[in-house]
Chain A
């Protein structure tokens, strides 16, 4: 195992982590500000990817597609908030789970109705298809580095938004005291729509970016959704900082576990069994990580509030 490979895998973990952060930040904001548990967040990821694929195919411009994916997902998010979600804020978590579970079904099958059963085409644009040399000789795909860059930019942007703007002030007020923003005379329902749309837009952006690397298909949001939940629970629900740390942690642990666990077991077991046991354990690794963290810190690493 060379240092280059380790470095490359660390970057891979970081890239998976930034992608998860885009998903998780919206999820955690929506929970932190509105107290809403949203299982349908993966739907916006799918919407973002589908819109990007469709617009890129029609216009030939990936950037245009990306813009469509981001804004389209945000728009869909706003509509969903207005029609369904806002009726759920004062409901118990159970009702939120059921309603958003229903939304998953509606979005998945609705998308299939509109776009058909076949996966859509979406590829990395030419100008992002290059490679960057890594120390040690390996070459790393530029596009993945761009995703990391976008993730960092979003993290910085969110930090700026929350600490330096009026909207962010309201969001923070929402995190610490929901009654207070009402008392401040702020139009809560508009704030909520905005926050929800922002979360949906970020999920859409994640889907759009990753759509160029993955299969754009119905149900693509579900595995990511579960990972994003793991991330925000590890990080502490409601905390953007926690989401960032949790995302990177999950990304790196998952990536390194997949690579190194089978290798590690090969030292003590025959190869076939080592692969079996290693791969099985690797698939369970992040859940084990989450259980261990919650066993010691029941409210995650940076609990904002319950």
Chain B
């Protein structure tokens, strides 16, 4: 995995590079090894839990591109997560019912068909939302993205064809040719590959000319405009790519759960994705993974201990924001050289 910051930063002590690289490698290895071990020892529950963690992390990787690298604080990424989920759900619904979608399009349970559609749909939605929202900035941007997500949420809630608030079940996991997606470990590996690809894409993207422009748009958009590059198209494209990654994660998440409902579109979920990104470390490649691991870990562990677990979750989050400024990834791996 290439580091998004330039090789030119020769000042960076090599020891620190080693530490960050080592921690990152270890994280990926653990994420891969634990579910495989759980599967071998007959604990499929942990495989499923790891899939859930992986997909939430992937959704947060998408958000991190907009929020961390692009400086666009989107409080509405649940819209893309949920839309991706609904694409998977609606495709499966029509494939199962043998009814056409919107009058003519046949349903499909082939993931190779559903994934591109999910990403396309999310990309288009983000294009529309981004084009309006990026006219604003600061708190206005936070709030207008929230407003758009709420619109989608209420729409899904009251649209009866696909279950409304009850949601839409996916009776059989959608299929990938040649693989048994029902098998927990197989499905986990699909998710894992998705996460790694999303992270690799982010890393590659941020090292490219586009990434350089996006970084400048975040740090100093006047400088970018003065150089002759309009910040808004750069941001908009980043916002769209970000939404597509989150949407793909949502499509997989719906398949994992066998279920999609408006709760995947709720503002709580947008908030949780933000929390995960911040918890892990904003604008850090591995931040979303660490954040998701912590969040899911706390939800699982505390939830079993006390019915007031959300109180302790809140206290923990508060502690992190007040005392661990760089996110947990910063604590583990040191300061990002040019964050």
A contacting B, Cβ–Cβ less than 8 Å: yes
What residues of chain A have their CB less than 8 Å away from a CB belonging to chain B? 31, 37, 39, 84, 87, 91, 93-95, 97-99, 101-106, 108-110, 112-113, 226, 229-230, 233, 237, 276, 279-280, 283-284, 287-288, 290-291, 294-295, 298-300, 306
CB pair B148 A105 closer than 8 Å: no
Which of B135, B144, B148, B271 contacts A101 (CB under 8 A)?
A: B271
Known A229-B143, A280-B154; contact A102-B148, beta-carbon cutoff 8 A? no
Q: B154 touching A230 by the CB < 8 A rule? A: no
**What residues on B are CB-neighbors of A109 within 8 Å?**
308, 310-311, 314
Residue of B nearest to A87 (CB): B322
Residues in B with CB closer than 8 Å to A298 are 135-137, 140
Please, could you name 8 A-B residue pairs with CB atoms under 8 Å apart, sorted by A?
A84-B318, A94-B67, A101-B317, A105-B317, A233-B144, A284-B151, A295-B135, A298-B135
Asked if A105 and B142 make an inter-chain contact with CB atoms under 8 angstroms apart, the answer reads no
Q: Using A101-B317, A233-B139, A237-B140 as known contacts, say yes or no to A284 and B155 having CB atoms under 8 A apart.
A: yes
**Residues of A close to B325: CB separation below 8 A:** 95
CB pair B147–A103 under 8 Å, yes or no, is: no
Contact check, B140 vs A106: say whether CB atoms are below 8 A apart.
no
A106 touches B315 (CB 8 A): yes
**Stretch of B113-121, B182-190, B248-256, B274-282 contacting A (4+ beta carbons < 8 Å):** B274-282
Measured CA separation A25–B223 after assembly (Å): 36
**Interface pair A94/B73, CB less than 8 Å apart:** yes
Taking CB atoms, residues of chain A closer than 8 Å to B75 are 97
Interface residues on B, range: 35 or more
Are B140 and A98 closer than 8 Å at their CB atoms? no
Q: Is the CB of B275 within 8 A of A104?
A: no
Q: Interface of chain B, helix or strand or loop or mixed?
A: helix
Contact of B136 with A94 in the complex, beta carbons under 8 Å:
no
- Given A226-B150, A306-B138, are A98 and B314 also a contact pair (CB < 8 Å)? no
- Give a binary string over B146-175; 1 marks a CB under 8 Å from any A CB, 0 the rest: 111011001101111000000000000000
Nearest CB on A from B292, distance (A): 15
Nearest residue (CB) in B for A36 is B139
Cβ A294 vs Cβ B140 within 8 A: yes
* Docked-complex contact A276 and B274, CB < 8 angstroms: no
The reply to whether the CB of B219 lies closer than 8 angstroms to some CB of chain A is: no
A106 to B142, CA, bound (A): 23
Binding site for A on B (CB under 8 A): 67, 73, 75, 132-133, 135-140, 142-144, 146-148, 150-151, 154-155, 157-160, 267, 271, 274-275, 278-279, 282, 308, 310-311, 313-318, 320-322, 325
CA of A122 to CA of B205, assembled, Å: 57
- Cα distance A184–B73 when bound, in Å? 34
Q: How far is the CB of B135 from chain A (nearest CB, A)?
A: 5
Could you say which of A284, A294, A299, A306 contacts B154, with CB atoms under 8 Å apart?
A284
Cβ of A50 to closest chain B Cβ, rounded Å: 16
Check if B147 sits within 8 Å of A291, measured CB to CB: yes
**Given that A31-B139, A112-B308 are contacting pairs, would A102 and B132 also be in contact in the complex, using a CB cutoff of 8 Å?**
no
Complex: A299 Cα to B308 Cα, angstroms: 40
Q: Given A94-B282, A291-B147, are A101 and B322 also a contact pair (CB < 8 Å)?
A: no
Of the listed residues A95, A108, A110, A298, the one surrounded by the most CB atoms of chain B closer than 10 A to its CB is: A298
B155 to chain A, nearest CB (A): 6
Which residues of B are found within 8 Å of A280, using beta-carbon distances?
A: 154-155, 158-159
Chain A residues with CB under 8 Å of B282's CB are 94
Q: Are B315 and A299 in contact (CB under 8 A)?
A: no
Q: Given known contacts A102-B318, A113-B311, A280-B159, is B274 in contact with A94 (CB within 8 Å)? A: yes
Query: Known contacts A105-B314, A106-B314, A284-B154; can you find 9 more A-B pairs with CB under 8 A?
Result: A93-B142, A94-B282, A98-B274, A102-B313, A113-B308, A279-B158, A284-B150, A291-B144, A291-B151
Q: How far is the CA of A236 from the CA of B148 in the complex (A)?
A: 18
Contact B151 A294, beta carbon cutoff 8 Å: no
Residue of A93, A230, A295 touching B139 (CB-CB under 8 A): A93
Bound CA span A229–B118, Å: 30
The answer to whether A103 and B139 touch (CB under 8 A), given A94-B67, A98-B274, is no
Residue of B nearest to A97 (CB): B274
Across the two chains, which residue of chain B brings its CB closest to A107?
B314
Would you call A276 and B158 a contact (CB within 8 A)? yes
Q: Is the CB of A295 within 8 A of B132?
A: yes
Cα–Cα distance between A95 and B315 once the two chains are bound (Å): 14
A233 touches B143 (CB 8 A): yes
Contacts of B151 on A, CB cut-off 8 Å? 284, 287-288, 291
Q: Which residues of A contact B275 (CB under 8 A)?
A: 98, 101
Interchain CB contact under 8 A, A106 and B318: yes
A234 CB to closest chain B CB, in angstroms?
9
* Residue among B137, B275, B314 having the largest count of chain A Cβ atoms under 10 Å: B314
A115 to chain B, nearest CB (A): 13
Partner of A104, one of B136, B148, B314: B314
Docked complex Cα distance between A94 and B273 (Å): 12
- For B143, list chain A residues within 8 Å (CB): 229-230, 233, 290
Q: Which residue of A lies closest to B308 (CB)?
A: A109
User: Could you tell me the distance between the alpha carbons of A284 and B337 in the complex, rounded to whole angstroms?
Assistant: 44
Contact between chains at B147 and A290 (CB < 8 Å): yes
B314 touches A294 (CB 8 A): no
Q: How far is the CA of A102 from the CA of B322 in the complex (A)?
A: 11
Query: Which single member of B140, B160, B316 contacts A233 (CB below 8 Å)?
Result: B140
- Least CB distance from B299 to A in Å reads 12
Contact A229 B146 (CB under 8 A): yes
Evaluate contact between A283 and B158: CB separation under 8 angstroms: yes
* Complex Cα gap A84–B139 (Å): 20
Chain A residues contacting B140 (CB-CB under 8 Å) are 233, 237, 294, 298-300
Q: Which residues of B contact A283 (CB under 8 A)?
A: 154, 157-158
A residues less than 8 Å from B321 (CB atoms): 91, 95, 98-99, 102
Residue of A nearest to B271 (CB): A101
